Chain A
Amino acid sequence: MDYAFQTSALVKRFGRTTALAGIDMAARPGTVLAVLGPNGAGKTTAIRILATLLRPDAGEAEVGGLDVVRHAAEIRRLIGLTGQYASLDEDLTGRENLVLIARLLDMPRSAVGSRADELLDRFGLTDHAARRVSTYSGGMRRRLDLAASMVGDPRIIFLDEPTTGLDPGRREDLWRIVRSLTADGRSVLLTTQYLEEADALADEVVVFDEGRVIATGTPAVLKQSVGGGQTVAVRPADPTQTGVVAKVLSAVSGREPDRSGGGVVTVAVDAGRVLTDVVLGLDAAGVDVAELSLRLPSLDEVYFALTGHHRTGDDERKAAE
Chain B
Amino acid sequence: MSSRTAGVRTVRQILAIAGRNLTKVRRNPGLFLDTLLMPITFLLLFVYLFGGAVAGSSHDYLRYLFPGILVMTTVLAGLTATGLSINRDIKKGIFDRFRSLPIARSAPLLGSVLADSARYLVTLATLFVVGFLMGFRVETGVLATLAGCGLAVVLGFALSWATVLAGVAIREEAIVQTIAFLGIFPLAFGTTMVAPATTMPGWLRTWIDVNPVTQAVEAVRGLLLGGPVAAPATATLLWSAGFLVVLLPASVAVYRRRV
Given B13, B93, B259, which contacts A85 in the complex, CB threshold below 8 Å? B93
Which of A14-32 touch B at CB < 8 Å?
A: 14
Please tell me if B27 contacts chain A, counting CB pairs below 8 Å: yes
- How would residues 119 to 157 of chain A score, 1 for a CB under 8 Å from any chain B CB and 0 otherwise? 000000000000010000000000000001100100000
Q: How large is the interface on A (under 10, 10 to 19, 20 to 34, 35 or more residues)?
A: 20 to 34
CA of A100 to CA of B9, assembled, Å:
14
Nearest CB in chain B: distance from A318 CB, A: 15
Complex: chain A residue closest to B9, CB-CB: A106
Interface centre among A52, A85, A86, A106 (most CB of B within 10 A): A106
Q: CB distance A104 to B93 under 8 Å? A: no
Known contacts A86-B93, A103-B16, A148-B97; decide if A73 and B23 are in contact (CB<8 Å): no
Q: CB distance B100 to A92 under 8 Å? A: no
Residues of B within 8 A of A91 (CB): 23-24, 27-28
Q: CB distance B96 to A81 under 8 Å? A: yes
Q: CB distance B16 to A104 under 8 Å? A: yes
CA of A51 to CA of B93, assembled, Å:
13
Q: CB distance A96 to B23 under 8 Å? A: yes
Interface centre among B9, B92, B98 (most CB of A within 10 A): B92
Residues of A within 8 A of B9 (CB): 106
Nearest CB in chain B: distance from A72 CB, A: 10
CA of A51 to CA of B9, assembled, Å:
22
Which of A87-114 touch B at CB < 8 Å?
A: 87-92, 96, 100-101, 103-106
Q: CB distance B99 to A104 under 8 Å? A: no
Complex: chain B residue closest to A106, CB-CB: B9
Nearest CB in chain A: distance from B169 CB, A: 15
Nearest CB in chain B: distance from A103 CB, A: 4
Interface centre among A104, A106, A321 (most CB of B within 10 A): A104
Q: CB distance A104 to B96 under 8 Å? A: no
Residues of A within 8 A of B13 (CB): 103-104, 106
23 A-B contacts, Cβ less than 8 Å apart? Answer: A48-B259, A51-B100, A73-B102, A76-B102, A81-B100, A83-B97, A84-B93, A87-B93, A87-B97, A89-B20, A89-B94, A91-B27, A92-B20, A92-B23, A101-B97, A104-B17, A104-B101, A104-B103, A104-B107, A106-B9, A106-B13, A132-B27, A152-B102
Give the interface of B toward A (CB within 8 A): 9, 12-13, 16-17, 20, 23-24, 27-28, 92-94, 96-103, 107, 259
